[in-house]
Structure 1
């Protein structure tokens, strides 16, 4: 589907659970992909919960990492955990692959009311970019950007990457704020190579 350059995170529970609101997550068992490095598979949801006064590391009875989003979803469905953090499109992908019987098995907490193609819990953030580090030759940046933006539809490189096309990069300020707030190891806020460099928009984002 043509969803542009945005993605977000979901907080899912079984549809027959007694968890209806974020406050109901107190004392529950949860899993996400990786605490420090999984964007829509973990950190987006952590940030969302913190903004609503919930600290998953303190308020959940258990909070573990699971590298497979498929397994996180199935563990929720099978009652092995109460709560799962996954990215937008994950449920639809599993449904298309026959890994889920139907989406009625699950409930998405705090579902956003907008026109985005996929249902989501968290705010939407810019998709993963290809970016140039500070000091890269501007002519090289321009040439690579132009080449990526002009790759024809259905090119083998796009098919292999499982994307439709590249689009001009979004503003990554919302991710800056998240990363700084959570003090993630993946980005030291004081060493942001893009801040004040003029390079923030010199990249391209993908459309899945």
Structure 2
């Protein structure tokens, strides 16, 4: 009996220690992967290491294709989500998410939509897109590769789904760019920064394309066609422990541009969450759920 009691006491002690020592819990951060899972893992794995070290728990980065973000939220598979402002507005509205911080990229905490056409196509203004073949990412879900451009055109009285000869969605922005380059389609919707990234990777040359309705802004030096919107948000999901959320916010805001996690992610860090009001205005005008009532 004495041996049994000793075994039970030892087991309870091990159990108590295992649930309290750092590194036992696992925290999952879903990260939008618009250019594919492998690129997302390569970009954000050091961020996961940084957060693991700061929180004292294992932080796992879960790369999510755009089409999987909302279903992953519904299933409760992740504790936090780093994704675009369209997803964020939907998550806050429908799933009681709490925004913790806005991404501050090397280009700043704002981004925009880009409409590209092939050089020499004669497509330079929004009105030139009438009757043309165009592609974007997933309708009513993508931010910088659908929603921003569609709202930009909506304000001008243009409906991509009615006024173009075809409006189709693709899975990767790189593929859309290459399709325009090859002349397979007339134009494409992509987010700001994609052209510049592909140019650095020697996949394209910037002067092979026209930026339709080209804009200029002191807040964003990258090529763009639409107004500016806040960058991606880090959001805590409804059932995430509030103490972990508070500590997570503290450490992401403390991330410096010189840290390896920021360097590999090509960001300057994070800033306090920027208002979602402008996103909600666009989603409401376009009647995108849950802002369609």
Q: Given the alignment, which residue of 123, 129, 138 partners 1:34? A: 138
Q: Given the alignment, which residue of 191, 196, 200 partners 1:87? A: 191
The aligned counterpart of 2:209 is: 106
Q: Given the alignment, which residue of 218, 221, 233 partners 1:117? A: 221
- Kindly state the Cα deviation for residue 112 of structure 1 after the two structures are TM-superposed: 1.1
Q: Given the alignment, which residue of 174, 191, 194 partners 2:278? A: 174
Gap change, CA 1:173 and 1:82, over 3 Å in 2: same
Q: Given the alignment, which residue of 176, 186, 189 partners 2:291? A: 189
Select the structure that is richer in helix.
2
Q: What's the CA shift string for 1:56-109, capped at 9, x where partnerless?
A: 000000010011111111111111000110010000100000101x21110001
Quote the Cα distance in structure 2 between the aligned partners of 1:104 and 1:183: 36
Quote the Cα distance in structure 2 between the aligned partners of 1:26 and 1:153: 43
Q: Given the alignment, which residue of 171, 179, 197 partners 1:67? A: 171
What's the Cα RMSD here? Answer: 2.3
The aligned counterpart of 2:128 is: 24
Question: Is 2:149 the partner of 1:45?
Answer: yes
Gap change, CA 1:169 and 1:98, over 3 Å in 2: same
- The TM-score with structure 1 as length reference comes to 0.81
Question: Is 2:117 the partner of 1:13?
Answer: yes
Listed as ranges, the matches of 1:93-172 within 5 Å are 93-100=197-204, 102-115=205-218, 116-132=220-236, 141-159=245-263, 161-172=265-276
The aligned counterpart of 2:180 is: 76
Q: Which runs of 5+ in 2 are unaligned?
A: 1-104
- The TM-score with structure 2 as length reference comes to 0.59
The aligned counterpart of 2:158 is: 54
Aligned residue for 1:189, secondary structure, equals coil
Quote the Cα distance in structure 1 between the aligned partners of 2:176 and 2:264: 26
Q: What's the CA shift string for 1:155-196, capped at 9, x where partnerless?
A: 4544564533111111110001111222223xx1389xxxxx
